[in-house]
Chains A and B, each alone.
Chain A
């Protein structure tokens, strides 16, 4: 077990009382597993990811990474952001090198160690470009390479393809699976797209509406690459969509 989330609870102060955002969230993730956290917007799935990353603190509960409790952010958890969050003044290479630079690794070695990640995400030839010169899909390739180059134990992805157009998103999903199979990283991927979750995940964690907890977990054992047009894909998509819809109605 690489990641254990135990009895996670998060509440925000709200005028006089408190607003419960996340309650009773328990999840164990296996080494090398691809887990999608799926839920309606505003359900707190991003908050869960940010707590795992150490960017926010939980009100109660524990998160263990390789058996050690997490407190605060650290380079053992790589994060990919929906907004890409690239440093605009750094070139592609210098963005990917960022984590190694923080660790004080000399330039020669940095270059050597990051080059393979730049190639892995298919950005060779673009090393000296600035982010503003890249398309959305390419920016997120940089985001993924930067997270991986730091050699984290797990990769946290917060709706990473949410800002991309439909065609680019499909291509990036395919690319992500290729990268995942080459690096064998554990991935926790937050999305609100049922289609995306079904295409990518080993396991889909469907969240309930606020206060969020785990509604249902689906194990997806289909081989990859998956066919979005296949009957079993369509059937499961329909089932999960109905489940999400009923939750949104309940919330109203």
Chain B
């Protein structure tokens, strides 16, 4: 009997040594401790702004299944509104960053011409553009343009850096195989840049996500997660709903980063990087 018990204990120890299981257990413990602390703080501090995790979860579930009586839409529609802005802004940034980054990296003249302008605009925080963009592009395109500038620069610098770091020996190899200047670009420089582009997209996703929520707090029409959080908190004083909004933003952020990390790994494997 006692021997069997020892075996089982050893089994558990063995299981804990596996990194994946160890990771999963630690994650559960970490999140559990966080929720417990939150719970304690909400009860001890007894502030209206900090609901208990249970109240927040309740508000979260309700926000998906019920139409918000003050906003007239469900959480799904807020998510849709934010994601649509995010995707449109991101696609616009990609459409400009890819040709511009490739051209800046490949052509010396273009690099010298474009770099001063890029360097002037790069240090401006994307949120600083909100007032101007609302005035110029109005409430639909304004927040989208904020995403656009936020995402543009990480994309641009990564693509530009990718072209600049093309291994010269690969260009030499292509030349001795009879490649023209255009072929060197399409068959060596461009594929070489793809992993760098993927890194730019991953970094841009994080920045873009912050931009959209911030931009929606300042000026927006037709819902959105930033707008939802701000209205629930400052206009309506429904703090459990504000927390529900925060949780949705966190989960969507985690999902996009996770998906991107996966896509980046797949691309790297296909591009011959281990």
Contacts and interface: CB of A to CB of B under 8 A. Distances in A.
Given A73-B175, A102-B174, A147-B176, 19 more contacts: A53-B176, A54-B176, A55-B172, A75-B176, A75-B177, A75-B178, A77-B176, A79-B172, A83-B169, A87-B170, A88-B272, A89-B270, A89-B272, A90-B272, A98-B174, A98-B187, A102-B177, A130-B272, A146-B177
B178 A73 contact: yes
B177 to A, nearest CB: 4
B188 interface: yes
Interface in B134-181: 167, 169-170, 172-180
A147 B273 CA distance: 23
Contacts of B178: 73-75, 99, 102-103, 150
Interface of B: 167, 169-170, 172-180, 183, 187-188, 191-192, 194, 270-274
Contacts, number: 71
Nearest to B172: A55
B191 A89 contact: yes
Contacts of A218: none
Given A73-B178, A98-B177, A99-B177, A85 B170 contact: yes
A44 B270 CA distance: 38
Interface in A131-173: 131-132, 146-147, 150, 156
Contact of A81 (B173, B183, B271): B173
Nearest to A149: B177
11 contacts: A74-B178, A78-B176, A85-B170, A87-B170, A89-B271, A89-B272, A98-B174, A98-B187, A99-B177, A102-B183, A150-B177
Contacts of B183: 102
A218 B162 CA distance: 47
Interface SS majority for chain A:
loop
Contact of A87 (B175, B191, B270): B191
Interface residues of A, number: 29
Contacts of A86: 173
B175 A55 contact: yes
A87 B172 contact: no
B169 A85 contact: yes
Contacts of B180: 102
A85 B173 contact: yes
B189 to A, nearest CB: 11
Given A77-B176, A79-B176, A102-B187, A132 B274 contact: yes
B272 A132 contact: yes
A55 B176 contact: yes
Contacts of B270: 89
B263 to A, nearest CB: 16
A150 B173 CA distance: 12
A237 to B, nearest CB: 31
